[in-house]
Amino acid sequence: MKIAVNQLSLKYGNELALSEVSFDIDSPKIYGLLGKNGAGKTSFLSILASYREPTSGSVTVNGETPFENATVMQQVAFLYNKDYKEETDNVLGILQDTERYRPHFDREYAEYLVNRFNLDVKKPVKQFSKGMQSALNVIIGLASRAPITIFDEVYLGMDVPSRDIFYKELLEDQEKHPRVIILSTHLVSEMEYLFDEVIILDKGKVIIHEEFDSLINKGVKIIGNGEAVDRFVQSKNQIHVEQLGQTKAVMIYGELSDHDRMVAREQGLELEPISLHELFLHVTKEGA
């Protein structure tokens, strides 16, 4: 599955939700789509899932536009924080319905997950707690085994143990049935170990799209004497500065060469890796 996003823009009235976004997704991996509220995550995912059309630009899946394309639409499962307050059907009914329209749906696996999340199969879904409804969305998403599976903040209502089950099942199933999985979230610290690639959206633009490992290597905290730190980081992309007395800590984003590392050692500077959570926080803060 190859998703190509080209100069994609979406406007709501005068407000620009997505601004000329371009990137490719071309391998069956887990992609973390990160962004603050209103960054444009759901807008992009809605277009990919054929829920709406872009204002300009394009998204293609294997070269085809998803909107009203029966072949593509069947391959894309979009799970979000769906409101089930009027859903009188029970879990069994909903899974049967999903099975009819999702060609790769695995009924046995769905039943296994229902047990794993301890859901009552006969109770009307509208009587479920928010966490149970989220678990149902997760089950539908995983068991549909759609070649492009999108989870848009679907786990927000789940408690920590349920989220843990989800993360484990996701990794296990992805290993057996690799597909493009997009996890849109702002629970960055908790989920970062799941991501193979990270896409960070901010104010409708992609500001970072990197492999997780290389991204993590690019974020470094330089700690030491204020003047020495300033000298070292002056030509670097600084994303955050902290000062405590004479000691200064500056976070930078960018590759450090072997020469840079040698210089830092000579200057008595400490180099510390930074987490994805910290990186996300500082690259998306106002005025960054």
Which tokens go with 10?
A: 């979406």
CB of 62 to another protein, least distance (A): 15
CB of 67 to another protein, least distance (A): 8
Which strand (E) or helix (H) includes residue 109?
helix 107-116
Report the C-alpha gap between 22 and 183 in whole angstroms: 18
CA 84 vs CA 61, 77, 125, 206, 234: distances in Å: 30, 18, 7, 32, 53
CB of 11 to another protein, least distance (A): 13
Which tokens go with 233?
A: 């980081």
Tell me which stretch binds another protein (CB under 8 A): 27-35, 76-84, 156-164, 174-182. 76-84
Which of 9, 58, 74, 267 is in the footprint of another protein by CB under 8 A? 74
Q: Does 50 help bind another protein (rule: CB under 8 A)?
A: yes
**With contact defined as beta carbons under 8 Å apart, do 31 and 195 qualify?**
yes
CB of 61 to another protein, least distance (A): 12
Give residues 98-127 in contact with another protein (rule: CB under 8 A).
Answer: 98, 100-102
Read off the amino acid at residue 24.
Answer: D
Looking at the DSSP assignment, which residues form a beta bridge with residue 56? 9
Q: Does 44 help bind another protein (rule: CB under 8 A)?
A: no
Q: Does 181 help bind another protein (rule: CB under 8 A)?
A: no
Q: Does 155 help bind another protein (rule: CB under 8 A)?
A: no
Which tokens go with 56?
A: 């300009």
CB of 74 to another protein, least distance (A): 4
Torsion angles phi and psi, residue 267, rounded to 5: -85, 0
Q: Which residues bind another protein (CB under 8 A)?
A: 42, 46, 50-53, 67-70, 73-78, 80, 82, 97-98, 100-102, 146
